[in-house]
Amino acid sequence: MRLFFIGDIVGKPGRAIVCRALPGLIAQQGIDLVIANAENAAAGSGYNPAIHRELMAAGVDGVTLGDHVYRRREVLPLLESEPNVVRPANLPDEAVGRRWAVVQARSGEQVAFFCLLGRLFMNTHAADNPWRHADRVLSEIPSDVRVRFLDFHAEATGEAQTMGRYLDGRCGAVLGTHTHVPTADERILPGGTAFQCDVGMTGPHESILGRRIDRVLSATLTGVPTPFDVASDDNRINGSLVDFDPATGRATAIERVVVDEQRAEQLAGA
């Protein structure tokens, strides 16, 4: 069973390249399931129902969010109604949305997925202990759902690596998001868990973390607040492919994937 995880989709440029390239990539790579972090998909921050429909039509099967989960009020009904969108599981129980979800892959397997917020260098005061909530979620997932996936939305690589080691052998993949910068540490841990600190960003890379360079430089150098508008050039999909043994839920391979604009056009025409 092959899963493709798409890193932080940033604004309209990120959505556009996903919609253009993903159908062809699914066919070319034999992808059975697509999960995307989409917490920045709405103009660079937040998520909404119209974008959800757009990503589902492109071939995304499940959506994880992050620290911007509630940035837009229109997301609240979606979080209550849609069975394939999860909010961070270590927010308070009273928070709107599902803590985990199960979706069916094209190959027929049931796959559980969830996301957690890290706490180091993050403005996530409402987030509880991610380790204990990882235990809690894994204990709630039905035992016959063997393939389990975690999006760990965290800033610190050390915290991400700690989560990977903590869940090694209990979760088929622990892949990170949030920094918008892909790390070159993908590997299969000894217990069969695919791990990577951060799979990177999907959107404009002629930017500073997806935002216009001039706006970020101006605010940094002058101290005068300015909108950090989403940039527009050098769009890329960053993500990772993970192969699983569906009988055990363990990962057998992980591969970083980059789809630039040229390859997106090739995939769109395939």
Q: What is the Cα–Cα distance from 127 to 205, expressed in whole angstroms? A: 30
Q: Is 146 helix (H, G, I), strand (E, B) or coil?
A: coil
178 is in an annotated binding site: yes
Residue owning tokens 């080691």: 165
133 is in an annotated binding site: no
151 is in an annotated binding site: no
Identified catalytic residue from 68, 125, 133, 205: 68
Q: What is the Cα–Cα distance from 80 to 262, expressed in whole angstroms? A: 38
The CATH number covering residue 78 comes to 3.60.21.10
125 is in an annotated binding site: no
For residue 124, what pLDDT is reported? 79
For residue 122, what pLDDT is reported? 87
Question: Is 205 a residue of the active site?
Answer: no
**What's the structural domain count of the chain?**
1
Q: What is the Cα–Cα distance from 46 to 68, expressed in whole angstroms? A: 5
For residue 4, what pLDDT is reported? 98
Are 237 and 17 a contacting pair, CB within 8 Å?
yes
180 is in an annotated binding site: yes
Question: 185: domain range?
Answer: 2-269
For residue 170, what pLDDT is reported? 98
Per-residue pLDDT 10s for the chain (270 aa) are 999 999 999 999 999 999 999 999 999 999 999 999 999 999 999 999 999 999 999 999 999 999 999 999 999 999 999 999 999 999 999 999 999 999 999 999 999 999 999 999 887 778 999 999 999 999 999 999 999 999 999 999 999 999 999 999 999 999 999 999 999 999 999 999 999 999 999 999 999 999 999 999 999 999 999 999 999 999 999 999 999 999 999 999 999 999 999 999 999 987
8 is in an annotated binding site: yes
- pTM of this prediction? 0.97
How far is CA 264 from its chain centroid? 20
For residue 8, what pLDDT is reported? 98
Q: What is the Cα–Cα distance from 65 to 119, expressed in whole angstroms? A: 15
Q: Closest by alpha carbon to 228, among 69, 10, 49?
A: 10
